[in-house]
């Protein structure tokens, strides 16, 4: 990998320290400003949106990495960033580390955008099919497939003309809201770092709950497989962009392979 040799191991290296500060300050701004920006939130401008949404802007492919949906989300990402990233930055140096971090984050965003495109196209097709042939049975199919919650129709499906019209309006609003859903968080880039750590230090021990030792390759491999299974099953309601995480892993792997073409040293 890199020829960089740290003069001493830094517990909190430069890039990670600054990432922790930036993410913390932006999280504070998210909850301080709220929707005071002309009725909009920071997420509307800087979280990642589907390219077919009016809220999408190209810079969101990067800026979404610095925003989080909750304190728990922020804490877990930043703790993992420090826990596994510190060793990588000490070995690679700050320049190579930040390149790897951003590339993994961009890769995660691109993979997630592909999933969003498929999901939005499928949703639009299914809703249009219902609007073409509206019926209680067709609404029930949509409700089951997308886990819709539509007032009393969650249990009793629309049968009268008035209820059917309400169902049409609801579905059109649902499509619009789904298209404008925001994705935020550094998880894709962090998963790239996790993979890099397991790739370079497969036999290092990780202590689960600070008690139970397990080799990095097994622990990180399990997390990746779990993300793949969850993504394929499309876990409804978990609010997790599984394929974004896997995108970070994929682009991390590709970048490591490129870097290793000229230097095949591994660190165990």
Other Cβ atoms closer than 10 A to 115: 19
* Residues 140 and 131: beta-carbon distance below 8 Å: no
Give tens-digit pLDDT for 106-161.
999 999 999 999 999 999 999 999 999 888 888 888 888 887 766 655 556 677 88
* Residues 73 and 29: beta-carbon distance below 8 Å: no
Q: Tell me which residue of 90, 113, 112 sits closest to 193, measured CA to CA.
A: 90
Local structure of 268: helix, strand or coil: coil
* 14-118+182-259 CATH pick, 1.10.3720.10, 1.20.1540.10, 3.30.1600.10, 2.30.30.100: 1.20.1540.10
Q: Could you state, in order of their start, the residue ranges of all structural domains in the chain?
A: 14-118+182-259, 126-179
Query: What band does 266 get if pLDDT is binned at 50, 70 and 90?
Result: very low
Candidate from 3-12, 85-94, 162-171, 233-242 with smallest mean pLDDT: 3-12
Give tens-digit pLDDT for 69-79.
999 999 999 99
Q: What is the pTM of this model?
A: 0.86
* Residues 44 and 182: beta-carbon distance below 8 Å: yes
Query: What band does 4 get if pLDDT is binned at 50, 70 and 90?
Result: very low
Query: What band does 267 get if pLDDT is binned at 50, 70 and 90?
Result: very low
Q: Tell me which residue of 19, 5, 23, 27 sits closest to 82, measured CA to CA.
A: 19
Query: What band does 249 get if pLDDT is binned at 50, 70 and 90?
Result: very high
């Amino acid at each position: 990998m890199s020829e960089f040799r740290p003069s001493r191991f830094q517990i909190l290296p430069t890039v990670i320290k600054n990432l922790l500060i930036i993410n913390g300050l932006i999280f504070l701004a998210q909850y301080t400003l709220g929707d005071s920006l002309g009725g909009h939130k920071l997420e509307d401008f800087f979280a990642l949106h589907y390219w077919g949404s009016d809220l999408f802007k190209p810079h969101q492919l990067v800026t979404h990495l610095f925003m989080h949906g909750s304190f728990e989300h922020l804490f877990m990402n930043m703790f993992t960033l420090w826990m596994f990233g510190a060793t990588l930055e000490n070995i690679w140096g700050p320049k190579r580390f930040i390149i790897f971090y951003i590339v993994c984050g961009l890769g995660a965003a691109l993979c997630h955008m592909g999933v969003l495109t498929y999901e939005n196209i499928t949703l639009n097709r299914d809703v249009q099919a219902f609007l073409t042939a509206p019926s209680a049975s067709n609404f029930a199919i949509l409700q089951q497939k997308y886990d819709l919650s539509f007032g009393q129709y969650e249990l009793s499906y629309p049968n009268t003309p008035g209820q059917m019209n309400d169902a049409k309006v609801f579905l059109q609003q649902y499509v619009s809201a789904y298209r404008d859903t925001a994705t935020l968080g550094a998880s894709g880039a962090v998963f790239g770092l996790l993979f890099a750590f397991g790739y370079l230090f497969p036999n290092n021990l990780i202590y689960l709950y600070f008690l139970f030792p397990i080799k990095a390759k097994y622990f990180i491999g399990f997390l990746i497989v779990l993300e793949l299974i969850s993504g394929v099953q499309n876990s409804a309601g978990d609010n997790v962009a599984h394929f974004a995480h896997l995108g970070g892993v994929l682009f991390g792997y590709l970048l490591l392979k490129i870097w290793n073409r000229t230097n095949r040293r591994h660190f165990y």
